[in-house]
Structure 1
Amino acid sequence: MAGGPRQLSLPHALGVVTGALLGAGALYIPERVENLAGPATPVSFLVAGVGALALAVGYATFLSSPLGDDGAGAYLHLSRAWRSRAVGFFAVWPKPAAYAALLALLAQYLARLVPVAGSTDAVALGVLAALLLVHLAGPAVVGRLGLLLSGAFALFIVVLLVAGLTVVVPRNFVPLFPTPVLREQPVSSLGRGALVALFGFVGFEVVGALAGAVRSPRTTLPRALVGGVAGVGLLVTLMAFVTLGVVPWSRMIFASVPFVDAAASGLGVPAGTLATPGLVLATLAALVALSWAPTRALAGVGEVVPPLAHTNRFGTPDVACVAVFVLAGTLVFLDAVSVGLFLVVPGLALLYVVHGLTVTALPLVNADLYAACAFRVPPRLLALCGLSGASLSGLLLWQALTLDPAVVLGFTRVGPAVTGTTADPLVRSPMESAVPALVGWETLGLLVYVAARDYREEIGAELEPLTRF
């Protein structure tokens, strides 16, 4: 799935990683984690960053192979590694719907943040329509807009970070484990905090969608992915350190937007003057960055469903883009965003589990593909990264299937958007929300898969051998 000239470069790819991982909720760091790890919360964020790196190494390995020239991403990785289109299709199928729901949620959140005329849903639909037009104008337009927004937000955070560092009070970290539970179970407390912090890295794989638009993707994308995840991991660790260093752990509950509240002390300005502009900028950056994922994932399965692979003269998979944004808009129009959100964490976590296991087995199940990877770590180290990534993703999946969707989404970077009336429909047992949503969507996928097979036979479309990559 490549088309049009490759006009994007490493900075554009880093912009996508930054926008996707910082998202709408970075300014709320370390909300929810500090309740588990106390003043040692920055350590939990650091551990989570290391865990996310294990997942990133696996994706980077595949992106450095000949498969990295195509934006189909995980579909190609899984189908070629296992030589099974069905494995790739059904593992990836929840991804476009999950990200479409996130786009709908963020568009509604942005509409609530910006005081403009019209209903929230009308503004949200306008935002989605504008983003669709940007995509149809070509990958270069999306990439440049994303770099502008993500770069501006990253600069905003750095300025606040420097300001906050000037007023950090070291005694806020003494004692490091102030409660009996933290003192008696320091490792498990840090581990629980790290697991929650790990939810903030959901969406790390979005950068792979740039493969068809970026120059030298087999070297650019692995660097952007590993470097971006490592950089964001260090950044959020510093943000947690500054927040807790300025706002005492015992008073964190009173902070409305924790990181902004801490940084405002250093700048000597009211937190309210920084919070709304920062949240608007963060949400815009997240919308643009995350929009790469569902459009390219859906276009990626165009090998199985040929109409989805169609591109316009600018190299945009236009049919897939329209399908994604129509789905997102429909969720907003029908007030059914919560239904789509049931899929987000379980659908993506399941994909990460399958991908991690595939990374582990790659040297054994497809030695030729492994040998063709430019970013090729030794098999034992690759297996360690793959198993670690699959295990951590399994924990995220377990949480998504045992906690209600409102709590689970609250752990992610889109957490601030899941509040009030948005959260109410999500407070449901996973057996009444996440599980039926995942099973139902995969069942729909089965119908699409069978219908697409019949369609290919009717038009005489032949699939290339799975031994080629």
Structure 2
Amino acid sequence: MTTSSPQTGPARALGTVDAAAIGAGAMLGAGVFSVFAPAAQHAGAWLPVAILIAGLVAYCNAVSSARLAACHPESGGAYVYGRARLGDLWGYLAGWSFVVGKIASCAAVALTFATYVLPGWERPVAVAAVIVMTAVGHRGIRRSTFVVKTLLVVVLAVLAGIVVAMSMSGRLAAVAEIDGLGPWPGSFGVLGAAGMIFFAFTGYARVAALGGEVRRPETTIPRAIALSLGGVLLIYLVVGTGTLIVLGRERLIASTAPMIDVVRVAGLEWAVPLVAVGVAVACLGALVTLLTGITRTTAAMAADGHLPRVLDRRVGRHGVPAYAEAAIAAVVVVLVLFTDLTGAISFSAFGALVYYAITNASALRLGPEEPRPPLLVPLGGLVGCVVLACSLPLPVVGVGAVVLASGAALWWVRERLSARTRD
């Protein structure tokens, strides 16, 4: 007979620094090593402005997520919030956009890994990374707080080395000779770049989900969100702006591995393998976590009947949803083989922006007796997500709209079939 006790729940052992480290570790991954090149193509010298816009929208999303998590402590994120606050369809679309967006994220992370580790063999190496990390996730490997902190230290060390290389390149002094930010690239240029850079901020919601694991969550979580997002925003501004100055817009746009190019411009060829190893560690850590998270969400949606129930079929002594794992890995492999890094980043950003638009809309429905944020936060987050999503490259917006419509159609068909069964 099993008895419940206080020890059966999660221990509230994490402080503000721990929670902030987890949030920063969730954000600092493949994005910082890959997103600035495609973003610079749209924003040009206005890249720092695009980074600030993306950071502001991310902050609004994080606050809305934290307030909703306090009211809905169960796992599922906007899949739960949307169903509870807006209706079943919106919750379903949140889960749908999460799954398709994160699948694109997996492809982007795998391609980033391959680009830095073995250029010229990107697609086969990326496919191998997906297969191996799926197998690792199947074995039940999880990222503990210690592992998250270790990966964060590795990434920060690599980025610190890159900043040192920027200073040694002698190119930063040239910024004093620049007259302004150059020609205005247009609103869609800056906002489209901000939408892409949003890809590098996703992960901050990990802090909002720590309500049962932190001490004094009502104060710790808001502080951790501000610290993690503020710190990551500062890092992106320094690294993104420095990369733009050192390489210049044209070379940055053409670069497949910008951070390695920065090191080479500084004449530090010996440091190239160190940067590649650091990027590999960051990407593989992010990839296994992404694959595990998508698998769990897919299995949960299948259990609810929103996806084929076979995807929730468990195998092995650990009850792993192996069919969902295999399906997710297969789709990611197809994306790796038939899309490029920019396309994967853009589509991932589109899915994430739709997901957080539903999150902010759900936060707007919080009542006065609930911990609702100031009206400007969810409203700004909702408008920001919609605007950034619509400012992404037109083919991505078109494909994204078709994918969302397909998801809505599947939901409608399921509802009609369920109604007939009940009748």
Q: Residues 114 and 33 of structure 1: is their aligned pair in 2 closer, same or farther, counting only changes over 3 Å?
A: closer
Name 2:131's counterpart in structure 1: 125
Q: Does 1:403 align with 2:394?
A: yes
Q: State the 1:337 CA deviation.
A: 6.7
1:79 alignment counterpart: 83
> Are 1:360 and 1:384, in contact at CA under 8 Å, matched by a contact in 2?
no
Does structure 1 retain, via aligned residues, the 8 Å contact 2:97–2:352? yes
Q: Match of 1:196?
A: 193
Partners of 2:117 and 2:268 in 1: CA distance: 25
TM-score of the two chains, using structure 1 as the length reference: 0.68
Letter in structure 1 aligned against 2:90: V
Superposed CA deviations along residues 267-295 of structure 1, whole A, max 9, x for unmatched, are 73456434422331231132144346424
Residues 1:18 and 2:24 are matched in the alignment: yes
Q: Is the 8 A contact 1:242 1:259 kept in 2?
A: no
Report the CA distance between 1:130 and its aligned residue: 1.1
**How far apart are residue 237 of structure 1 and its match?**
0.3
Report the CA distance shift for 1:87/1:335 in structure 2 as closer, same or farther (over 3 A).
closer
Q: Which residue of 2 aligns with 1:268?
A: 268
Counterpart mapping for 1:390-469 below 5 A: 390-400=382-392, 403-405=394-396, 430=398, 433-447=399-413
Contact 1:71 1:212 in 2 (8 A): no
Task: Say if 2:90 is the partner of 1:98.
Answer: no
Work out whether 1:6 is the aligned partner of 2:10.
yes
* Distance change in 2, residues 1:332/1:403 (3 Å): same
Tell me, in whole angstroms, the C-alpha distance in 2 between the residues paired with 1:108 and 1:267. Answer: 26
Q: Aligned letter for 1:214?
A: E
Counterpart code for 1:367: P
The match for 2:63 among 42, 57, 62 is 57
Q: Distance in 2 between matches of 1:93 and 1:312?
A: 24
Is this contact kept in 1: 2:19–2:214, CA < 8 A? no
Instruction: Tell me if 1:174 matches 2:177.
Output: yes
Q: Judging changes above 3 Å, is the alpha-carbon distance between structure 1 residues 360 and 338 closer, same or farther for their aligned structure 2 residues?
A: farther
SS at match of 1:134: coil
Q: 1:295 to 1:71 in 2, by over 3 A?
A: farther
Structure 2 counterpart of 1:155: 157
Q: Deviations over 1:133-176 (max 9, x none)?
A: 235xxx5x455434432331123212322443454533325334
1:77-129: CA deviations, max 9, x gaps?
223334x344323332331243234335534664676569x964455312211
In structure 1, give the amino acid aligned to 2:395.
D
Find the partner of 2:36 among 11, 20, 30. Answer: 30
Whichever residue aligns with residue 47 of structure 1, its letter is: I
CA contact (8 A) 1:16 1:289 kept: no
Alpha-carbon separation, structure 2, partners of 1:131 and 1:222: 31
Inter-partner Cα distance in structure 2 for 1:334 and 1:35: 26
**C-alpha spacing 1:337/1:33, structure 2 compared with 1 (3 Å):** closer
**Cα distance 1:25–1:96, how it changes in 2: closer, same or farther (>3 A)?**
closer
2:140 alignment partner, SS class: helix
* Distance in 2 of aligned mates of 1:207 and 1:234: 19
Answer whether contact 2:26 2:203 (CA < 8 A) is retained: yes
- RMSD, matched Cα: 4.4
Cα distance in structure 2, aligned partners of 1:231 and 1:384 = 23
Tell me the alpha carbon deviations over residues 205-263 of structure 1, each in whole angstroms, 9 at most, x when there is no partner: 54168548734594455444343222211110011232234334565456553344335
8 Å CA contact 1:62–1:77 kept in 2: the answer is: yes
Q: Is the 8 A contact 1:60 1:221 kept in 2?
A: yes
The 8 Å contact of residues 49 and 233 in structure 1, kept in 2 or not, is answered as yes
Distance 1:13 1:295, change over 3 A: farther
Q: Which residue of 1 aligns with 2:286?
A: 286
Distance in 2, matches of 1:280 and 1:227, equals 26
Counterpart code for 1:351: Y
Percent identical residues: 20
Instruction: Give the alignment's TM-score, normalised by structure 2.
Output: 0.74
Secondary structure at the counterpart of residue 440 of structure 1 = helix
Q: Does 1:351 align with 2:342?
A: no
Tell whether the 8 Å contact from 1:160 to 1:263 is kept in structure 2 after alignment: yes
Across the two proteins, how many residue pairs are aligned to each other?
A: 399
Gaps of 5+ in 1: 409-429, 458-469
String of CA shifts for 1:416-436, please: whole Å, max 9, x gaps.
Answer: xxxxxxxxxxxxxx3xx4333
Contact 2:107–2:336 (8 Å) recurs in 1: no
Change (3 A) 1:336 1:244: closer
Task: Report if aligned partners of 1:360, 1:383 keep a CA contact under 8 Å in 2.
Answer: yes
Contact 1:79/1:87 (CA < 8 Å) preserved in 2? Answer: yes
Q: Residue 257 of structure 2 corresponds to which residue in structure 1?
A: 257
Alpha-carbon deviations, 1:312-370, whole Å to 9, x = none?
Answer: 999x9844xx45422222225667875996964443322222222232343xxx333x2
The CA distance in 1 between the partners of 2:400 and 2:249, in whole Å, is 33
Q: Which amino acid aligns with 2:294?
A: P
